[in-house]
C-alpha cells in the first residue's frame, strides 16, 4: 500500500511541480496543500488526469486552526477527501483561505456536484465563502441563525436559547441562561509522554 502511495506522491510532484505544496505521506494517507490561486485548476486536473482519476469527492469540510497547538499560519482551511475508484487510492487536499477576516476559496461544485451541500455546510459552520457556488445558504443551523458555530471562538453553549413564552404566546429567543463548564481540562503533554510500551 505504501509503495503505491509513494508513487502517488511522486506523480503529484511530477505533474504539478511548484503549483502545489509538498505532498505529505503519514499514517498511510497522502495530504497535499494547494495554494488558493491554483486550487480550482489543480482539482480539475486531479479528477480528469488518467494518472490520478479522482472520480469521487467523498467529503469536504472546514477547519479552524486558530487554537491548534504550536500552529502559525492561515486560520481557515477547506479540506477535501478525494477517492479514486480506478486506482483505489485516496488523497486529502487542503486549501487555506488567504484572508482570515473574510475567508474565501473557490467552489468545486462544477467539478464534483456533491460539493454543493458540503460547501454549504462549511459556510454555515465556519463562515468560509465559496466563490462560484450557486446556492450558498445555511444548511444545518436554524433559520435566522447568527454566527458560525464551529469556529473556535464560538462558545459550546451558544449565545441564544429558545423557549415558549406563555405571555406572548409564541416561541422567543433569549440570551443563554446556562454557564459554560468544563469537566476535564484540555491538556497537551510534552514530547515523549505516553510513548512508552504501556508500562509506567
Partner 1 sequence: MVVAEIKNYTINFGPQHPAAHGVLRLVLELDGEVIVRADPHIGLLHRGTEKLAETRTWLQSLPYLDRLDYTSMIPSEHAYCLAIEKLLGVDVPIRAQYVRVMMDEVTRIKNHLLNIGTHALDIGAMTMVLYTFREREDLFDVLEAVCGARMHQAYYRPGGVYRDLPDQMPKYQENRFKNAKTVKELNEARSGTLLDFLEDFTNRFPVLLGEYHTLLTDNRIWKQRTVGIGVVSPERALQLGFSGAMLRGSGIEWDLRKKQPYEVYDRMDFDIPVGVNGDTYDRYLVRMEEMSQSNRIIKQCIEWLRKNPGPVITDDHKVAPPSREKMKGSMEELIHHFKLFSEGMHVPAGEAYAAIEHPKGEMAVWAVSDGANKPYRIKLHTAGIPHLAATDEMTRGHMLADATAIIGTIDLVLGDVDR
14: left (phi over 0), alpha (psi -120 to 50) or beta: alpha
Residues 21-40 that bind partner 1 (CB under 8 A): 26-29, 31
Q: What part of residues 90-119 is at the interface with partner 1 (CB under 8 A)? A: 90, 92, 112-114, 116-118
Q: Which of 71, 102, 159, 173 binds partner 1 (CB under 8 A)?
A: 71
> How far is the CA of 190 from the CAs of 26, 27, 70, 186, 193, in angstroms?
21, 21, 12, 13, 6
Crossing angle of helices 2-16 and 39-48, rounded to 10°:
130
Instruction: Find the length of the chain.
Output: 200
Query: What is the maximum span of the chain, computed from C-alpha positions, in angstroms?
Result: 69
Q: Which of 6, 37, 48, 142 binds partner 1 (CB under 8 A)?
A: 142
- 70 near partner 1, judged by CB under 8 A: yes
Task: Tell me the C-alpha distance between 23 and 37, whole Å.
Answer: 18
The footprint of partner 1 on residues 36-65 (CB under 8 A) is 55-59, 61, 63-64
User: Pairing between strand 104-106 and 56-64?
Assistant: unpaired
Is residue 144 part of the contact set for partner 1 (CB under 8 A)?
no
**Candidates 15-23, 81-89, 98-106, 166-174 — which segment interacts with partner 1 by CB under 8 A?**
81-89
Chain residues binding partner 1 by CB under 8 A are 26-29, 31, 55-59, 61, 63-64, 67-71, 79, 81, 85, 88, 90, 92, 112-114, 116-118, 138-142, 149-150, 156, 182, 184, 186-189, 193-194, 196-200
Amino acid at each position: 500500500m505504501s509503495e503505491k502511495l509513494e508513487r502517488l506522491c511522486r506523480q503529484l510532484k511530477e505533474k504539478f511541480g511548484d503549483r502545489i505544496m509538498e505532498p505529505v505521506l503519514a499514517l498511510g494517507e497522502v495530504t497535499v496543500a494547494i495554494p488558493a490561486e491554483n486550487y480550482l485548476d489543480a482539482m480539475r486536473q486531479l479528477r480528469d488526469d488518467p494518472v490520478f482519476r479522482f472520480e469521487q469527492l467523498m467529503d469536504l469540510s472546514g477547519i479552524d486552526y486558530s487554537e491548534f497547538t504550536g500552529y502559525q499560519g492561515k486560520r481557515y482551511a477547506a479540506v477535501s477527501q478525494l477517492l479514486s475508484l480506478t486506482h483505489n487510492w485516496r488523497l486529502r487536499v487542503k486549501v487555506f483561505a488567504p484572508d482570515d477576516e473574510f475567508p474565501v476559496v473557490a467552489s468545486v461544485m462544477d467539478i464534483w456536484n456533491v460539493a454543493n451541500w458540503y460547501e454549504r455546510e462549511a459556510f454555515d459552520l465556519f463562515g468560509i465563502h465559496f466563490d462560484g457556488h450557486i446556492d450558498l445558504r445555511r444548511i444545518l443551523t436554524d433559520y435566522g441563525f447568527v454566527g458560525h458555530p464551529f469556529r473556535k471562538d464560538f462558545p459550546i453553549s451558544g449565545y441564544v436559547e429558545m423557549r415558549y413564552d406563555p405571555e406572548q404566546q409564541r416561541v422567543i429567543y433569549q440570551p443563554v441562561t446556562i454557564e459554560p463548564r468544563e469537566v476535564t481540562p484540555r491538556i497537551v503533554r510534552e514530547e515523549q509522554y505516553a510513548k512508552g510500551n504501556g508500562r509506567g
